[in-house]
């Protein structure tokens, strides 16, 4: 059993995912989601957080959510490996990361760029992007990416980065729904600034 973790953040209005360059075979030199094997007595989410910390130095991700189980035969040339895939979103500014353990490098990259990924991580990343888009459109997951105090312009940039220009909804409507849900409060009288509740 293995765990993989897709961590997303915003960098200057651009969506980024944390990837590691594999140091060893299989797929040496290719980018991959941080992850590795589950220890026999280790809780699953703890394993995902441990692998992230060991391979990138990133220790704090906020909430981590299980997004799928990946176990197609042949996904790992070393043998039958089933991965419990997770995703998380973190607030900007993005922290510095560095490759360690069995990762030669760690970097915040464009999740939609055509990086050659190891294993079936392109499939896992696509699922993680769907999870992120649904969570941002619904509201609360977007707050994990925005600064604690933000403006309507920040919400518009978030929607463009995650949902795309065609799918982006109204920042005003999005904020109104979150105010009504008690997730954010107005930070000024002009209706353009908000802070997390």
- The catalytic site residues sit at 105
Of 107, 131, 112, the C-alpha closest to 56 is 107
Number of DSSP helices (H) and strands (E) in the chain, helices first: 5, 10
The CA distances from residue 88 to 13, 17, 24, 56, 183, in Å, are 18, 10, 26, 15, 19
Q: Estimate the share of the chain in helix, then strand, then coil, as percent rounded to the nearest 5.
A: 30, 30, 40
């Amino acid at each position: 059993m293995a765990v993989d973790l897709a961590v997303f953040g915003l960098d200057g209005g651009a969506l980024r995912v944390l990837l590691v360059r594999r140091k060893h075979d299989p797929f040496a030199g290719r980018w991959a989601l941080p992850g590795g094997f589950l220890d026999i007595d280790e809780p699953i989410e703890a394993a995902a957080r441990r692998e992230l910390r060991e391979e990138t130095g990133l220790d704090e991700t906020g909430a981590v959510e299980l997004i799928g189980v990946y176990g197609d035969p042949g996904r790992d040339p070393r043998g039958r490996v089933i991965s419990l895939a997770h995703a998380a979103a973190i607030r900007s500014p993005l922290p510095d990361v560095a490759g360690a353990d069995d990762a030669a490098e760690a970097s915040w990259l464009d999740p939609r760029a055509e990086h050659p990924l190891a294993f079936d991580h392109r499939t896992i990343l696509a699922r993680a992007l769907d999870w992120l888009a649904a969570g941002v459109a619904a509201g609360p997951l977007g707050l994990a990416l925005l600064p604690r105090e933000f403006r309507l312009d920040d919400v518009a940039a978030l929607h463009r980065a995650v949902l795309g220009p065609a799918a982006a909804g109204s920042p005003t409507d999005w904020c109104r729904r979150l105010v009504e849900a008690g997730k954010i409060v107005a930070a000024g009288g002009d209706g353009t600034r908000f802070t997390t509740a």
